[in-house]
A and B are shown apart, each in its own frame.
Chain A
Amino acid sequence: MLNDTLSRLIDRTRDALRFHLIPWLSTVIAVSLCFYLLAILSCLAATYRLSRPSWTAEDRATVYMHPDICRQVQEGLAEELRSRPEIRHVSLISQEDARRRTEALLGQWKGVLTGLGDTFFPPSLEVQFQPETLGSKNLDALITKIRQSPEVEDILYGRGQSRPMVEGTTAVEYLWWGGMGFAGAVALLMLFLSSRALILSGRDALEIYSLAGATDFYSQAPFYLAGIMQGCVGALLAVGLSVFSTAQFQTVLPPLLIPVVSLKAWQQLFLAVGLLSCGAVLGSAGTWLALKKSA
């Protein structure tokens, strides 16, 4: 019985799509492009916070020293800072370490560093504060005191530095969410229009089914199936396209930016499941709207 029901549903869906295959496939491609945009923006939104540099964290500071300072002075300042109750951890970064790190970050783009002297890579101290001291006046006073030390050239204090950056990234994230909403709305509109065309061309069949005593669910099921299939096939194409394109991006982008676009296996799975669900939901929502509009 279930077999009969399923094969009849598939038959009726095939009947409904019979004269609409090309518009249906065109909509699938258009929807997949919207989903692709949605996927790329959601990946960027998801990885952007994760890939934010550690020094922008609120409990971090980087103390840049004069390039000509010797190792002993650097160690002396580090020792002094370690003795402070507000400070949790201090690590020393030499000029060689700084250059090596920067080169590693730039990868194949490291050539841009050629010709830059050691002054471009000053020795530094990476400082992590005790979480409970964050925001206290003592800490602000300590930062000011460090900044005034003769061997210190500059200090990037995460709390102070990251605020404008966080505000900036929040604005970018809003833009991304807006873009994702726009892509979703365009996909829904296309699915709605495609379903509406399908329903209008099958209006006679709907009337015949209704006169034969079919329930609304029975008559409308092929349109829902066609809409859900459209959303899901579009989503699958978008998953393939986004996995392929992120892999391609990684071959040309500097390592600094790779974390922003690279997807781990679980992220790819999450993306696939998310987009497929999105396709199914938007497909059925588009069909529902089209049926309401055509009633």
Chain B
Amino acid sequence: MTRLIQCLHISKGYPPADPVLQDINLDIFQGDFAFLLGKGGSGKSTFLKVLLGLEPPDQGHVLIEERDIAEIPPREIPFFRRQLGIVLQDSKLLMHRSVFRNVALPLEVAGSGEAFAQKRAFALLRMLGLEEKGALSCKCLSASERQRVAIARAVVNDPVILFADEPTGGLDAQEARRVMKLLEDVRVMGTTVILATHNASLPTAVPGSRVLVLHQGKITEQTAAE
């Protein structure tokens, strides 16, 4: 199996003397569906931010495809981010823009032509059952629909890794299942998924996934979900 992410002795705290993450060593392999499970305030979001390079660790290194992300020059960071998909709990959509334009955003910033962006975004919207809503403003969508649009935006440029921070937070059970099914489909298409959640029952929705329990700043348990 190809190692995609390698965490070496990661520590991070606010301030550094009060660590949220303590000496974490972890490997994520290509094709993994990894749940990062922990209670609120356990450091899941901080760990995701460190993996994404949004926050530097106080100690240790994160290597993605054998490259230390701390050594990526600032001008290359946007190009590095284009290989990643990011879904946040509050979906972070441009509310006054149409669903289609939100989904096509990563293609737009990467300089893809309008015709290609349109084709790709509509294909994804069809897959998500949102093709009827492509022209609507995101303000008109339900919470679940917004989260699906956020996932579509995150995967529209075929990222190598998809990071999702509480993507089912605030959704009811049925909507959460729908979102999890979608993420499972994304993994099947070849994208590695790392999902942070406080919901301990969520890993059961994805057979064969890895569960990484974050407790008191350490990843204390690594089991495969049944």
What is the interface of chain A, defined by CB distance below 8 A to chain B? Answer: 1, 4-5, 8, 15, 18, 204-205, 207-216, 218
Decide if A212 touches B153 in the complex (CB within 8 Å).
yes
Decide if B92 touches A207 in the complex (CB within 8 Å).
yes
Decide if B106 touches A208 in the complex (CB within 8 Å).
no
Decide if A213 touches B94 in the complex (CB within 8 Å).
no
Which applies to chain A's interface (DSSP): helix, strand, loop or mixed? helix
Decide if B111 touches A5 in the complex (CB within 8 Å).
yes
Interface size on B, residues (CB 8 A): 22
Residue B105 at the A interface, CB < 8 A?
yes
Which stretch (B23-31, B74-82, B180-188, B196-204) binds chain A? Answer: B74-82
Nearest-CB residue, chain B, relative to A18 = B96
Q: How far is the CA of A18 from the CA of B75 in the complex (A)?
A: 30
Residue in B94, B108, B114 whose beta carbon sits within 8 Å of that of A205 in the complex: B94
Query: Which chain B residues lie closer than 8 Å to A215 at the CB level?
Result: 75, 78, 109
Decide if B81 touches A212 in the complex (CB within 8 Å).
yes
Decide if B109 touches A213 in the complex (CB within 8 Å).
yes
Residue B126 at the A interface, CB < 8 A?
no
Query: Given the interface contacts A15-B97, A213-B78, does A4 sit within 8 Å of B113 by beta carbon?
Result: yes
Query: Given the interface contacts A1-B113, A4-B114, A5-B111, does A213 sit within 8 Å of B92 by beta carbon?
Result: no
Nearest-CB residue, chain A, relative to B114 = A4
User: Nearest Cβ distance between residue A7 and chain B, in whole angstroms?
Assistant: 8
Q: How far is the CA of A213 from the CA of B75 in the complex (A)?
A: 11
Query: Which chain A residues lie closer than 8 Å to B106 at the CB level?
Result: 212-213
Q: How far is the CA of A204 from the CA of B92 in the complex (A)?
A: 8
Query: Which chain B residues lie closer than 8 Å to A8 at the CB level?
Result: 108
Q: List 10 A-B contacts (CB under 8 A).
A: A1-B111, A1-B113, A8-B108, A212-B109, A213-B80, A213-B82, A213-B84, A214-B78, A215-B75, A218-B78
Nearest-CB residue, chain A, relative to B84 = A213
User: Nearest Cβ distance between residue A27 and chain B, in whole angstroms?
Assistant: 22
Query: Which chain B residues lie closer than 8 Å to A216 at the CB level?
Result: 78
Query: Which chain A residues lie closer than 8 Å to B79 at the CB level?
Result: 213
Nearest-CB residue, chain B, relative to A211 = B86
Q: How far is the CA of A204 from the CA of B94 in the complex (A)?
A: 8
Nearest-CB residue, chain A, relative to B157 = A213
Residue B72 at the A interface, CB < 8 A?
no
Query: Which chain A residues lie closer than 8 Å to B127 at the CB level?
Result: none
Residue in A5, A204, A211 whose beta carbon sits within 8 Å of that of B81 in the complex: A211
Decide if B81 touches A213 in the complex (CB within 8 Å).
yes
Query: Which chain B residues lie closer than 8 Å to A208 at the CB level?
Result: 92-94, 105
User: Nearest Cβ distance between residue B152 and chain A, in whole angstroms?
Assistant: 13
Decide if B96 touches A209 in the complex (CB within 8 Å).
no
User: Nearest Cβ distance between residue A204 and chain B, in whole angstroms?
Assistant: 7
Closest 7 CB pairs of A and B: A213-B82, A214-B109, A213-B81, A212-B106, A4-B114, A215-B78, A213-B78
